[in-house]
């Protein structure tokens, strides 16, 4: 099977790494890819949102399956364009991708499907939004309605913080047009979990769960980011909870999407809050999470490519995937300045030494080749140092041992990934 993977981040590196091991694979391209992905795929210089060029390449190369990594290409119609060209695409139509492209749309679908979630309201007028916040009080959650690279959510502890978020999102437009409308939600209390399932329009195959670390600083402090690390499986997410989430959240949502004439095919990512009253939906995403995907791919047992293709062709019932009992953990190394303006161009050394630590796999995200051929930083989240081990503490220790082997002056990371399950952070050791 010839496969074109779309994207160039850590999630795509993890997917390429796993797809490359499939016995079904005959050739793998990635557009645009990165130097790490180039170890497993032929990288082609096509942007992830250049839909006409992606489809033209897929037709020229007789690609059997296009796999969409990030959400943006899906929300602007990659799957639709592939379908029009007769090419299978793993990912939802633009209409179904609104589950991520619009927070308000997600809430409407969830309400219609009876999915448990937070109380919410939507606003296009900043004054009305502020008045609602003053009436409701804090803590409260303010979300840009559209895509914002994982940074469009503010969990405000005070009314002043919430009003400042309205000013930033709706008036200063820090997230561009995505902030023309906001969704304001009740602040749910509990542990946040990311849960994933493959969908073929009507059927769903549960995958696994992970716990992300959104805040930039240790102890869950500082602004939200795209994710500073993750581990899988989270102990709070039991088998009974998985069944409840499938029955009360995933399957009713799929049925509602069918009722609307926009069946969902691809991977659905449910951001959940595990509260004292049970699981509640925070948001849906229409792609694998990043960095959660890196943690999941380390635990996956089975043919990922076969499962992705089955989701496109309505054959999920024929697929079986297993998961290692060994937990995994990924530490994101980000560039100084992230989640604001990251420092770019700094040389990164020691990746081979980091990858030589037992149990460790290094995934590249925001990297590029420098003028002299070495690896340099080219983004905000730059590396995913992932490890699997006999227990979570061993996986954590291996990951941080590998972090210590990376020589990158501009790099930083959180030192407490996994702290919900491991109260005492590991010591950074020399490789």
pLDDT tens for each residue of the chain, 431 residues long: 999 999 999 999 999 999 999 999 999 999 999 999 999 999 999 999 999 999 999 999 999 999 999 999 999 999 999 999 999 999 999 999 999 999 999 999 999 999 999 999 999 999 999 999 999 999 999 999 988 876 788 899 999 999 999 999 999 999 999 899 999 999 999 999 999 999 999 999 999 999 999 999 999 999 889 899 999 999 899 999 999 999 999 999 999 999 999 999 999 999 999 999 999 999 999 999 999 999 999 999 999 999 999 999 988 988 889 999 999 999 999 999 999 999 999 999 999 999 999 999 999 999 999 999 999 999 999 999 999 999 999 999 999 999 999 999 999 999 999 998 986 554 444 44
Note the residue count of the chain: 431
Task: Supply the pTM of this predicted model.
Answer: 0.93
Residue-range definition of the domain harbouring residue 370: 328-412
With respect to residue 101, please indicate whether it lies within any of the assigned structural domains. no
Over 10-61, what HEC string results?
Answer: HHHHHHHHHHCCCCCCCEEEEEECCCCHHHCCEECCCCCCCHHHHHHHHHHC
Same domain, 173 and 60: no
With respect to residue 219, please indicate whether it lies within any of the assigned structural domains. yes
Rounded Cα distance between 161 and 45, Å, is 42
Burial 320-354 (b: 16+ CB within 10 A, else e): ebeeeebbbbbbbbbbbebbeebbbebebebbeeb
List pLDDT tens digits, range 265-321. Answer: 999 999 999 999 999 999 999 999 999 999 999 999 999 999 999 999 988 988 889
With respect to residue 210, please indicate whether it lies within any of the assigned structural domains. yes
Cα Dmax for the chain: 60
N- to C-terminal Cα distance for the chain? 39
> Where do the DSSP E strands lie in 202-244?
204-212, 215-217, 221-224, 229-232
Rounded Cα distance between 331 and 318, Å, is 34
Let me know: does 408 contact 333? Beta carbons within 8 Å.
yes
Same domain, 220 and 277: yes
Which CATH number belongs to the domain containing residue 312 in this structure?
3.30.470.20
């Amino acid at each position: 099977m010839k496969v074109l993977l779309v994207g160039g981040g850590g999630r795509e590196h993890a997917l390429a790494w796993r797809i490359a091991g499939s016995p079904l694979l005959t050739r793998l391209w990635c557009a645009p890819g990165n130097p790490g992905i180039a170890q497993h795929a032929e990288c082609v210089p096509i942007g992830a949102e250049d839909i006409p060029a992606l489809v033209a390449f897929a037709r020229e190369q007789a690609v059997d399956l296009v796999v969409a990594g990030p959400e943006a290409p899906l929300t602007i119609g990659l799957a639709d364009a592939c379908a029009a060209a007769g090419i299978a695409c793993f990912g939802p139509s633009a209409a179904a991708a609104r589950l991520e492209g619009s927070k308000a749309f997600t809430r409407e679908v969830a309400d219609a499907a009876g999915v448990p979630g937070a109380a919410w309201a939507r606003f296009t007028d900043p004054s009305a939004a502020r008045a609602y916040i003053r009436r409701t009080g804090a803590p409260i959650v303010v979300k840009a309605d559209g895509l914002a690279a994982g940074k469009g959510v503010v969990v405000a502890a005070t009314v002043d913080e919430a009003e400042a978020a309205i000013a930033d999102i709706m008036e200063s437009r820090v997230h561009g047009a995505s902030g023309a409308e906001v969704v304001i939600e009740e602040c749910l209390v509990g542990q946040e979990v990311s849960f994933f399932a493959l969908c073929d329009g009507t059927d769903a195959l549960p995958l696994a769960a992970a716990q992300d670390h959104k805040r930039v600083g240790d102890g869950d402090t500082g602004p939200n980011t795209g994710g500073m690390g993750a581990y899988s499986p989270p102990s709070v997410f039991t088998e009974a909870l998985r069944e409840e989430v499938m029955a009360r959240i995933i399957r009713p949502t799929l049925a509602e999407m069918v009722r609307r004439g926009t069946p969902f095919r691809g991977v659905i990512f449910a951001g959940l809050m595990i509260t004292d009253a049970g699981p509640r939906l925070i948001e849906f995403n229409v792609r694998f999470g990043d960095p959660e995907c890196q943690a999941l791919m380390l635990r996956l047992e089975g043919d990922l490519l076969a499962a992705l293709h089955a989701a496109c062709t309505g054959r999920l019932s024929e697929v079986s995937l297993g998961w290692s009992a060994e937990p995994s953990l990924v530490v994101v190394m980000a560039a100084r300045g992230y989640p604001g303006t990251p420092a770019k161009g700094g040389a990164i050394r020691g990746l081979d030494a980091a990858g030589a630590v037992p149990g460790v796999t290094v995934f590249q995200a925001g990297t590029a080749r420098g003028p002299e051929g070495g690896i340099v930083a080219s983004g905000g989240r730059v590396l995913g140092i992932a490890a699997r081990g006999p227990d979570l503490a061993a996986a954590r220790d291996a990951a941080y041992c590998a972090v210590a082997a990376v020589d990158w002056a501009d790099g930083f990371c959180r030192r407490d990934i996994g702290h919900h399950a491991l109260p005492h952070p590991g010591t950074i050791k020399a490789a």
